[in-house]
């Protein structure tokens, strides 16, 4: 790593110094194409975010791809029902690495107002790894932009080697996530323990 002050000093002299990691992450974080995919009312806010007033294009994410093969990011915008959950996981599996997930809104992160319903999944993070959770019902476009910037910061800080490297650079990492089966009474299994180890609540 180049010393920060030295880098600035060199910059003043007209010498631009960077690292491969910085360059690589800069490229990654500035062209994240989301998947064109909405589940409920949060999708309306997501659409508003991409329109002229909020303009997600400023962050390089204006190209919504209708195919998971061409998308880098999945915005889970809305309620994930148990009927829909296997399809969401399957779409996520079909996306090419590197891929990221933003769980947008109360429903996507926990089931929201429908949490106690028999048909609503209590958070998509039970089956796929979520990078950024945004609360809100629905979150405002600013909140989605905030989530997007958080994701960019997260990508920027990722080392390319060693501990904490992205999944696609780790041969050992889990690449495909098991699609839950629609059983006779509920989804089976009810969560992917590899992705979602049961959180410990201490009171």
Partner 1 sequence: MKTMEEIKAAIDAALPGAVLEIVPNPSPSGQRSLRLAPSHAFQVAKFLRDELSFDFLSNATGVDWPDKEISEKVKVARTVTKTVDGVEQAVEESVEETRKRVEPGCLEAVYHLFSIALGQGPLVIRMRTVNRTDEVELPSLTPIWRSADFQEREIFDLFGIVFTGHPDLRRLLMWDGFKDHPMRRDYVEPDDFEYEPTAHDEVLARAQAHRAAQSASPAGQEGTVSGE
Q: Please state the closest distance from residue 200 (CB atom) to partner 1, in A.
A: 6
Q: Please state the closest distance from residue 182 (CB atom) to partner 1, in A.
A: 4
Within 13 Å of residue 80, how many CA atoms lie on the same side as its CB?
26
Does an H or E element contain 81, and which? none
- 122, 134, 144, 148: residue in contact with partner 1 (rule CB under 8 A): 122
Q: Which range touches partner 1 (CB under 8 A), out of 48-56, 65-73, 164-172, 184-192?
A: 184-192
Size of the site for partner 1 (CB under 8 A): 21
Distance between CA 127 and CA 107 in Å, rounded?
14
Strands 181-182 and 187-188: antiparallel
- 119, 153, 164, 174: residue in contact with partner 1 (rule CB under 8 A): 119
Q: Please state the closest distance from residue 81 (CB atom) to partner 1, in A.
A: 8
Distance between CA 45 and CA 140 in Å, rounded?
6
Q: Hey, is 12 helix, strand or coil?
A: helix
User: Residues 102, 74: contact at Cβ < 8 Å?
Assistant: yes
Q: Please state the closest distance from residue 188 (CB atom) to partner 1, in A.
A: 10
Q: Which of residues 38-77 bind partner 1 (CB under 8 A)?
A: none
Distance between CA 124 and CA 140 in Å, rounded?
20
Q: Which residues bind partner 1 (CB under 8 A)?
A: 82-83, 116, 118-119, 122, 182-186, 190-191, 193, 197-203
């Amino acid at each position: 790593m180049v010393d920060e002050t030295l880098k600035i000093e060199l910059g003043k002299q007209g010498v631009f110094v960077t690292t491969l990691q910085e360059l690589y992450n800069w490229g990654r974080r500035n062209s994240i194409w989301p998947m064109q995919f909405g589940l409920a009312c949060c999708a309306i806010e997501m659409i508003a975010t991409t329109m002229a007033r909020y303009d997600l294009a400023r962050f390089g994410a204006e190209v919504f791809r209708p195919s998971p093969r061409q998308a880098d990011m999945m915005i889970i915008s809305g309620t994930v029902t148990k009927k829909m959950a296997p399809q969401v996981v399957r779409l996520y599996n079909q996306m090419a690495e590197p891929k990221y997930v933003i769980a947008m809104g109360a429903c996507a992160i926990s089931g929201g107002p429908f949490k106690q319903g028999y048909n609503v999944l209590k958070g998509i993070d039970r089956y796929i790894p979520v990078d950024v959770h945004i609360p809100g019902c629905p979150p405002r476009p600013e909140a989605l932009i905030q989530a997007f910037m958080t994701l960019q910061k997260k990508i920027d800080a990722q080392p390319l080697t060693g501990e904490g490297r992205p999944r696609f650079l780790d041969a050992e990492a889990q690449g495909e996530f098991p699609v839950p089966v629609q059983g006779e009474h509920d989804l089976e299994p009810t969560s992917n323990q590899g992705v979602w180890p049961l959180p410990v609540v201490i009171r």
